[in-house]
Every structure is written in C-alpha cells, then in structure tokens.
Amino acid sequence: MNYDLLSSFVLATSVLAFSPGPDNIYVLMQSITNGKQYGLATVAGLISGCIVHTTLVAFGVSAILKENDSLYFAIKLFGALYLFYLAYKVFKGDAKIIMNNDNVPKKGLLQLYKQGFIMNVLNPKVSIFFLAFFPGFLFSDSMSTVIQFYVLGFLFMAVSLVIFSAIAILAGGISNYIKQSKNVGVVLKWLQIVVFVGIAIFVLLSEK
C-alpha cells in the first residue's frame, strides 16, 4: 500500500476543499445568515451526495480497468485534459471572492440537508471530477480497485467534511478575513491552478 500516494491525495483534496467554490461559499453564507447549525446541515447533505458519485465511478472505472488497457489510457487522458481545463477556467476567472447573502432563505435543517444532497447528486461535474481525479491515486496492487475507489471517496468526504464544517463554524471570522484581505483571492486562485495542473501531470504519468 502506497501511503505517500494517499498523503498526496489528502493534501490535494484539502486545498481543493478550501478553495472558494459554489458549495463552500453557499455553506459560508448559510452559516452567516442563519447560524452555524444550518451551515452544518448543508455540509452533511453535500458530503452524503459524494457517496453516489463514488459508487458510479468505482464500479464504472473498475470495470474498464479490468477489460482494456487502451480504455484506461483514454480515461487517464480525459482526466488530465479535464483538470487542465479546470486550471484554465480558474486562470481566466476573477480572483475576487464574491459573497452575497441576499438570496439565502432560511430553511429547516432537514430541508437544507436534502437540498445539499440533491445539489451534489444532480451535479454531473462531481462525477466527472472524481473520474478525472481518482484513477491517478490508486494506491495498492493487491487490493480490489472498487475498494480503493471507495477508500479514496471516503477520504475525500472526510477531508471535505472537516474543512466545510470548519468553514461553517468559523463563518464570521472567515467572512471578515476574506473581506479585509485583498490578496487572499489571488493566492487561492493560483493555489487551485497549481493543484489542478500538478494532478493532471501526475494522472498522465501514473501507471496502472
């Protein structure tokens, strides 16, 4: 078992979870507007949805790995190109972190859990990202690829849960820091670009 590979996966996941995106900004605004328990309910829903995407990728990609080396190479190539595309989108995007709580209605905790779950499950970009991200981090020659994908999926969920929950709990301070610091958006923007490009290169160079 390659623990260095798993450590790299956790580090990359941590950076991506902390980088501003629709999900963690929504969690932040729910916490600021309605209270941290509402942010945490949203987090629980978002993380639960990842189980569905992990299952789809685990069984789909594992079948391809068993059947065809050429298809596996195509998966790797697609994954790397998609990650390069994400890096390009971040590069072309605005470094400003926009937070707007004008449209954050107060809902019940169960409603927010369901909404977070549905938001995640119905977002095909999550499955595409998992498809691009996970194959390069398969960490064992002896363990079933399905199990490895589930291990990576649950590691991804655990890291995201910790970071998203911290954002929800520390919402006020994080919000103030983002508003006061002019450089935080630029730093996080370039950090995302470096991580996406680094993972893309790693995926291309990884062996089956």
Residue 102 gets which letter from DSSP? Answer: T
Per-residue pLDDT at 208: 58
Per-residue pLDDT at 113: 94
Q: Which of 140, 139, 115 is nearest to 41 (CA)?
A: 115
Residue reference for tokens 């290169």: 201
Alpha-carbon distance of 189 to 191, in angstroms, equals: 5
Q: Which of 146, 148, 168, 159 is nearest to 50 (CA)?
A: 159
Burial label, 126 (beta-carbon count in 10 A; 0-12, 13-18, 19+): buried
Q: Long-range pairs for 141-150 at CB < 8 Å and ≥24 separation?
A: 143/1, 144/62, 145/58, 145/61, 145/62, 145/65, 145/66, 146/58, 146/59, 146/62, 149/54, 149/57, 149/58, 149/61, 149/62, 150/54, 150/58
Sort residue 35 into left (φ over 0), alpha (ψ -120 to 50) or beta: left
Greatest CA span in the chain, whole angstroms?
53
The pLDDT tens digits for 33-63 are 888 999 999 999 999 999 999 998 888 877 7
Per-residue pLDDT at 103: 57
Instruction: List the chain pLDDT tens, one digit each, 208 residues.
Output: 888 889 999 999 998 898 877 788 888 888 888 889 999 999 999 999 999 999 988 888 777 766 677 877 887 888 889 889 988 988 888 777 666 665 566 778 899 999 899 989 988 888 889 988 888 888 888 889 899 999 999 999 999 999 999 999 998 788 777 767 778 778 878 888 888 898 888 878 876 5
Alpha-carbon distance of 107 to 30, in angstroms, equals: 10
Q: With contact defined as beta carbons under 8 Å apart, do 38 and 106 qualify?
A: yes
